[in-house]
Chain A
């Protein structure tokens, strides 16, 4: 589904991503984790076609990615909902832009609203919603396009712990039903361990490790020993470099 080869990206001469190679199979999920500023959001923007790489290629469904894809759904940080449009119109927007007709839009939007259990919010504006509700709308806005690839940039980082777990369950639930491929960027170790078939650890613009997560999607994974083992592993991988930073900070104190 996704093949990334020898990808480099620089922002104003500062190298953000260096020699990224990745592969994600159809229906699989990839969680990308790393500290803030490591380049993980940039990677997502590249996969979405919002930025263009300086070197290397991205292929999606064996096709070279050159811009925004019609069948990629994107969920950005801070939801990205338009405050001047109602929930219904926020969901309808992507379909409208793709040239769908009135009846089709209505049917698709209403079914997405129902699946996400937000039908009663459809005439409200984003300012009237709680964080969790806004997040559901943002998920709905991506899902209504029937994506074969869903790209998420720290989608749940602004939510409280319980709502976050609820939303993570929701993503797994929808994924099991609709079998799209997804990439999730996060700085939350538990989230990466819960939502990734594969977990890529990024440090300073390079992929430091890619872990397999054989227990992905298991019921009550959060209660299981393996879940904590995986998190421990991830924490170790992430802090190898961070130790250096810590030392510097201590030296300053």
Chain B
């Protein structure tokens, strides 16, 4: 545990060092001084930045939670039933590559200017990764485990609970990690339209008001948001997937 803390500290120091290097070598207001930014960040965090950050956090967690529930269900279904997959797979393959972000205006017309359209945009982007990872995870389960499960007398529900879900869970966490990076980037874009709160809005608003110190404070806040989301996934992994690290070690 101590070692991990040190790892994060090292990353922080490296980033600040590079930032300083850029600050000193590029003589322009667009690269603000790290110390000045950190001062502004700490002074404004509680009252100004936090409400924006919490709003973004809410949108991301809502979207990810819904995507997880829907995506894992669809993934399990297609993974366990090749017949369903035959009809769903072409749909998924056709829809997955579409740049969903281009549909933001459509979603805003259909679902209103508020949170709903942003959350739906995030869901349609995130859900595909979760569906595909879950489905492929189910398919790669060794058939010997299914024989073993049936020989113990497991019914369909038991098989989902004791075999399929635990087997695909590590893969779902990996998909979540990839997804969280994507969803923060997408949210940043979506929060520039018809919102008053959201860290994306805060950053772009500061930029248009030429307040670079606040703009960088917002960027730091986004970075921290991502950091804590990733850490949350790490915790889930430590709690539920410790068996996997052991098999990796042995391999």
Which residues of A come within 8 Å of B, CB atoms?
45, 48, 50, 68, 70, 74, 76-78, 80-85, 93-94, 97-98, 125-128, 141
Taking a contact as CB atoms closer than 8 A, the residue among A80, A84, A126 that contacts B147 in the complex is: A80
Residue of B nearest to A84 (CB): B166
B39 at the interface (CB under 8 A from A): no
Given contacts A70-B153, A94-B153, contact A77 B144 (CB under 8 A): yes
Given contacts A125-B246, A128-B246, contact A76 B151 (CB under 8 A): yes
For chain B, the bracket of interface size reads 20 to 34
Alpha-carbon separation in the docked complex, A78 to B152 (Å): 15
B154 CB contacts on chain A under 8 angstroms: 97
13 residue pairs of the A-B complex, CB under 8 angstroms, read A45-B147, A68-B151, A70-B153, A77-B144, A80-B145, A80-B151, A81-B148, A85-B243, A93-B152, A125-B243, A125-B246, A127-B246, A127-B247
B152–A97 contact, CB under 8 A?
Answer: yes
A84–B167 contact, CB under 8 A?
Answer: yes
List B200-251 residues whose CB lies under 8 Å from chain A.
Answer: 241-244, 246-247, 249-250
Taking a contact as CB atoms closer than 8 A, the residue among B147, B158, B244 that contacts A97 in the complex is: B158
- A sample of 12 more A-B contacts (CB under 8 A), given A85-B162, A126-B243, is A76-B144, A83-B243, A83-B247, A85-B243, A94-B153, A97-B152, A97-B154, A97-B158, A98-B153, A125-B247, A127-B249, A127-B250
B249 CB contacts on chain A under 8 angstroms: 127
Chain A interface, >50% SS class: loop
B167 CB contacts on chain A under 8 angstroms: 84
A93–B243 contact, CB under 8 A?
Answer: no
Alpha-carbon separation in the docked complex, A82 to B162 (Å): 9
Alpha-carbon separation in the docked complex, A96 to B229 (Å): 35
Alpha-carbon separation in the docked complex, A146 to B158 (Å): 21
List B107-147 residues whose CB lies under 8 Å from chain A.
Answer: 144-145, 147
A70 CB contacts on chain B under 8 angstroms: 153
Alpha-carbon separation in the docked complex, A190 to B201 (Å): 76
Given contacts A82-B145, A82-B163, contact A68 B150 (CB under 8 A): yes
Alpha-carbon separation in the docked complex, A80 to B151 (Å): 10
**Number of A-B pairs, beta carbon distance below 8 Å:** 62
The residue in B150, B152, B163, B244 that gathers the most chain A C-beta atoms within 10 A of its C-beta is: B152
List B157-189 residues whose CB lies under 8 Å from chain A.
Answer: 158, 162-163, 166-167, 169
B152–A48 contact, CB under 8 A?
Answer: no
Whole-angstrom distance from the CB of B164 to the nearest CB of chain A?
A: 11
Alpha-carbon separation in the docked complex, A83 to B154 (Å): 17
Whole-angstrom distance from the CB of A55 to the nearest CB of chain B?
A: 22
A97 CB contacts on chain B under 8 angstroms: 152-154, 158
A80 CB contacts on chain B under 8 angstroms: 144-145, 147-148, 151
B151 CB contacts on chain A under 8 angstroms: 48, 50, 68, 74, 76, 80
B158 CB contacts on chain A under 8 angstroms: 97
Alpha-carbon separation in the docked complex, A160 to B150 (Å): 28
Given contacts A80-B147, A80-B148, A82-B166, contact A127 B153 (CB under 8 A): no
Whole-angstrom distance from the CB of B153 to the nearest CB of chain A?
A: 5
B144–A127 contact, CB under 8 A?
Answer: no
Residue of A nearest to B247 (CB): A127
A81 CB contacts on chain B under 8 angstroms: 148
Whole-angstrom distance from the CB of B147 to the nearest CB of chain A?
A: 6
B152 CB contacts on chain A under 8 angstroms: 74, 93-94, 97, 141
Alpha-carbon separation in the docked complex, A65 to B2 (Å): 58
Alpha-carbon separation in the docked complex, A84 to B169 (Å): 10
A93–B147 contact, CB under 8 A?
Answer: no
A127 CB contacts on chain B under 8 angstroms: 243, 246-247, 249-250
A50–B147 contact, CB under 8 A?
Answer: yes
Residue of A nearest to B154 (CB): A97
Residue of B nearest to A74 (CB): B151
Alpha-carbon separation in the docked complex, A146 to B191 (Å): 62
Whole-angstrom distance from the CB of A32 to the nearest CB of chain B?
A: 17
Alpha-carbon separation in the docked complex, A45 to B150 (Å): 11
The residue in A93, A126, A141 that gathers the most chain B C-beta atoms within 10 A of its C-beta is: A93
A76 CB contacts on chain B under 8 angstroms: 144, 147-148, 151
B250–A93 contact, CB under 8 A?
Answer: no
Alpha-carbon separation in the docked complex, A141 to B167 (Å): 20
Residue of B nearest to A73 (CB): B151
Whole-angstrom distance from the CB of B249 to the nearest CB of chain A?
A: 8
Whole-angstrom distance from the CB of B163 to the nearest CB of chain A?
A: 7
A48 CB contacts on chain B under 8 angstroms: 151
Whole-angstrom distance from the CB of A184 to the nearest CB of chain B?
A: 15
B153–A68 contact, CB under 8 A?
Answer: yes
Whole-angstrom distance from the CB of A40 to the nearest CB of chain B?
A: 15
Alpha-carbon separation in the docked complex, A149 to B115 (Å): 61
